[in-house]
Copies of this chain bind each other. A is one copy, B any other.
Amino acid sequence: MSEELVGNVLVAQSGGPTAVINSSLAGVLTEALNHACIEEIYGSLNGVLGILNENFIDLAEESQQTVRALRVTPGAALGTCRYKLKKEQDFERIIDVLMAHNIRYFFYIGGNDSQDTASKISQHAANRGYEMRVIGIPKTIDNDLPITDHCPGYGSAIKHIASVVREMAEDHEAMGQHDLVSIVEVMGRNTGWIAAGSALAKHRNSPENAPHLIYLPEVPFSTEKFLEDVQSVLQKNKHCMVVVSEGIVDGEGNYIAADANTDSFGHSQLGGAGEFLRNLVSENINVNARACKFGISQRAAATHASQTDNNEAFLCGQQAVKVAVSGQTDKMVTLIRQDSESYLCGTGLASLNEVANGVKAFPKQWINESGNGVTHPFVKYALPLIQGEVQVPYEQGLPQFAKLAKNVVGKQLSGYALV
Contact = CB atoms under 8 A, between A and B. Distances in A.
Contacts of A175: 16-17, 79-80
Interface string A261-274: 10000111111100
Nearest to A200: B398
Interface stretch (A59-67, A70-78, A130-138, A310-318): A70-78
Contact of A275 (B159, B266, B270): B270
A201 B292 CA distance: 22
Nearest to A77: B174
A291 interface: yes
A386 interface: yes
B299 A171 contact: yes
Given A167-B301, A270-B271, A182 B292 contact: no
A101 interface: no
A293 interface: yes
Interface string A75-99: 1111111110000000000000000
A167 B303 contact: yes
Contact of A396 (B76, B177, B290, B387): B387
Interface in A287-309: 290-297, 299-304, 306
A372 to B, nearest CB: 21
Given A396-B383, A397-B383, A297 B81 contact: no
A190 to B, nearest CB: 18
A22 to B, nearest CB: 9
Contacts of A399: 163, 166-167
Contacts of A260: 275, 278-279, 282
A49 interface: yes
A388 interface: yes
A296 B306 CA distance: 23
Contacts of A78: 174
Contact of A296 (B73, B81, B168): B168
A398 B170 contact: no
A79 to B, nearest CB: 5
A369 to B, nearest CB: 26
Nearest to A292: B295
A182 B290 CA distance: 21
A261 B293 CA distance: 19
B176 A79 contact: yes
Contact of A291 (B73, B267, B279, B293): B293
A300 B167 contact: yes
B270 A167 contact: no
A167 B298 CA distance: 10
Given A290-B296, A292-B297, 10 more contacts: A78-B174, A79-B175, A80-B175, A164-B297, A167-B300, A171-B299, A260-B275, A270-B275, A292-B296, A303-B304
Interface of A: 13, 16-17, 46, 49, 73-83, 159, 162-164, 166-177, 182, 200-201, 260-261, 266-272, 275, 278-279, 282, 290-297, 299-304, 306, 383, 386-389, 394, 396-399, 401
